[in-house]
């Protein structure tokens, strides 16, 4: 039965009229409690979903919010890279793709401007230097991987390939997609649909059918306080900086990232870097299918493939995003399939790791995998110079949730409670 979320601890009272729906398996009741606490902090303004698998078994399936259901879909931005990475890993495992082959071996036009030795591994670990194009890519261009690839073919790298790394938020998997298309004759999206989404029944799309549009919930704007607005403008990157190029600020007009995910063309095409649409169930199911298998189907990846793609390749400062952690191949470290030892699961798209003190690995799906509780409405600074919102923007990594469940609440200076 859905329960109204009312939280009371040590004199600190947080009230919410939002109901938490869904179910958890025996032993996972504390996860429901923490999810309810996160939802309460949103003041009833946020829809949220949370799904978790253990060894291929769904143990958590929760949602909350007036406009959110268990099957509600939304734009998942860079969580799309998880699906694209799984396609790539599957093709590498089968010997169709070679990580250390130059991209130009299959795509000769890419060799222009000093890119002839860039390998697929360089691209997947964000070390290629190809993060955008001079003059920028329009929102319409970013909706189509084939168009992005044509623009990138002639572009010089923004740093010497292999010498550093920087996150290619909107273009990385357009490069991978072009290699896959030239090798297999199929797009990354087609391979994903045929080999992964349909067979495993995943509610995560790289190309949303029009018939599913009724389930889509748009990304919502968030209004900044005057202090937040001032802080944003004080730290706004230049449009032609490395960060600006990586996030589309050098286009005319600068990329509106909220409108991007809400555009039908983006949802229909499913660009492989940031155009996916899905639910928490779909995101968690993707990773469970990869390492354990679900619903009686075998895992998609062998342990050696998981180990290869989970190995950290790029460490230190990110030239695009700053000193924000490390990258493995593609979207980040994959959950370890071993049931014996405490495993290390990825937290956020920046690919930091946190050891879960549970002795087993949870595959967690939210509005933006793999964060614990994803708000479909929340606060984030829009990179185009306004304040916007992305899924799971006020979510907590699972490691923080575990600590939050152990730690007593404290009172902030403004009198509100922490959890």
Nearest to 127 by CA among 98, 161, 177: 161
pLDDT for 322: 81
Nearest to 251 by CA among 151, 393, 388: 151
pLDDT for 18: 73
Output the average pLDDT for the chain. 78
With bands split at pLDDT 50, 70 and 90, how would you rate the model's confidence at 412?
Answer: very low
Between residues 375 and 18, which one has the greater pLDDT?
18
Q: The tokens 């670990």 sit on which residue?
A: 125
What global pTM score does this model have? 0.79
The 8-class DSSP code of residue 194 comes to I
State which H helix or E strand residue 175 sits in: helix 172-184
pLDDT for 44: 62
pLDDT for 120: 98
Q: Which of 93-107, 267-281, 284-298, 380-394 shows the lowest per-residue confidence on average (mean pLDDT)?
A: 380-394
pLDDT at 72 over 80: yes
Q: Which of 7-11, 160-164, 326-330 shows the lowest per-residue confidence on average (mean pLDDT)?
A: 7-11
pLDDT > 70: what percent of the chain?
Answer: 74
pLDDT at 339 over 90: no
Q: Are 173 and 188 in contact (CB under 8 A)?
A: yes
Q: What is the mean pLDDT of residues 24-36?
A: 94
Q: Which two tokens stand for residue 92?
A: 């590498």
pLDDT at 338 over 90: no
State which H helix or E strand residue 228 sits in: helix 226-234
Q: How far is CA 20 from the centre of its chain?
A: 24
Between residues 347 and 126, which one has the greater pLDDT?
126
pLDDT for 69: 92
Distance in angstroms (rounded) separating the CA atoms of residues 409 and 11: 9
Q: Are 261 and 219 in contact (CB under 8 A)?
A: yes
* Beta pairing partners, 19: 4
Sign of the C-alpha dihedral computed for residues 294, 97, 346 and 84 taken in this order: negative
pLDDT at 63 over 50: yes
State which H helix or E strand residue 364 sits in: strand 362-366
CA atoms within 13 A on the CB side of 1: 2
pLDDT at 7 over 50: no
Distance in angstroms (rounded) separating the CA atoms of residues 101 and 19: 52
H-type helices in 55-137, by residue range?
80-93, 120-124
Reported as a single tens digit per residue, the pLDDT across 91-102 is: 999 999 999 999
Nearest to 222 by CA among 40, 14, 417, 46: 46
Nearest to 78 by CA among 251, 309, 246, 209: 246
pLDDT for 17: 58
Distance in angstroms (rounded) separating the CA atoms of residues 126 and 330: 8
Reported as a single tens digit per residue, the pLDDT across 226-256 is: 898 888 778 878 899 999 999 999 999 999 9
Distance in angstroms (rounded) separating the CA atoms of residues 173 and 330: 8
pLDDT at 45 over 80: no
User: Rounded to 10 degrees, what is the CA torsion of 275, 219, 256, 235?
Assistant: -110
Q: What is the mean pLDDT of residues 126-143?
A: 96
pLDDT at 379 over 80: no
With bands split at pLDDT 50, 70 and 90, how would you rate the model's confidence at 174?
Answer: very high
């Amino acid at each position: 039965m859905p329960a109204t979320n009312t939280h009371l601890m040590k004199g600190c009272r947080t009230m919410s009229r939002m109901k938490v729906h869904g179910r958890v398996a025996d032993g996972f009741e504390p996860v429901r409690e923490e999810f309810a606490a996160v939802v309460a902090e949103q003041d009833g303004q946020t829809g949220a979903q949370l799904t978790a698998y253990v060894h291929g078994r769904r143990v958590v399936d929760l949602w909350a919010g007036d406009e959110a259901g268990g099957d509600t879909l939304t734009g998942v931005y860079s969580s799309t890279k998880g699906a694209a990475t799984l396609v790539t890993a599957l093709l590498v495992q089968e010997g169709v793709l070679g990580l250390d082959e130059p991209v130009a071996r299959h795509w000769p036009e890419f060799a222009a401007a000093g890119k002839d030795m860039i390998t697929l591994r360089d691209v997947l670990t964000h070390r290629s230097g190809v993060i955008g194009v001079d003059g920028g890519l329009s929102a319409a261009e970013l909706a189509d991987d084939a168009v992005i690839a044509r623009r990138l073919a002639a572009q010089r790298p923004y740093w010497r390939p292999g010498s550093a790394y920087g996150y290619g938020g909107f273009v990385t998997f357009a490069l991978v997609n072009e290699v896959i298309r030239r090798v297999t004759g199929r797009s990354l999206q087609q391979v994903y649909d045929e080999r992964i989404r349909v067979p495993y029944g995943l509610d995560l799309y790289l190309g949303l059918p029009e018939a599913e549009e009724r389930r889509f919930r748009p990304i919502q704007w968030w209004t900044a306080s005057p202090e937040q607005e001032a802080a944003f403008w004080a730290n706004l990157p230049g449009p032609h900086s490395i960060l600006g190029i990586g996030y589309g600020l050098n286009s005319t007009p600068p990329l509106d990232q909220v409108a991007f995910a809400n555009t039908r063309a983006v949802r229909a095409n499913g660009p492989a870097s940031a155009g996916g649409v899905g639910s928490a169930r779909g995101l968690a199911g993707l990773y469970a299918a990869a390492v354990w298998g679900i619903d009686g189907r075998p895992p998609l990846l062998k342990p050696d493939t998981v180990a290869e793609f989970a190995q950290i390749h790029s460490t230190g400062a990110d030239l695009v995003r700053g000193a924000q952690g490390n990258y493995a191949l593609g979207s980040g470290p994959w959950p370890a399939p071993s049931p014996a030892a405490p495993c290390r699961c990825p937290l956020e798209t920046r690919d930091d790791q946190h050891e879960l003190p549970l002795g087993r690995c949870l595959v967690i799906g939210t509005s933006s995998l793999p964060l614990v509780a994803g708000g479909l409405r929340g606060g984030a600074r829009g990179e185009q110079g306004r304040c916007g919102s992305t899924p799971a923007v006020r979510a907590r990594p699972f490691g923080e949730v575990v600590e939050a469940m152990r730690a007593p609440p404290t009172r902030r200076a403004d009198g509100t409670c922490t959890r």
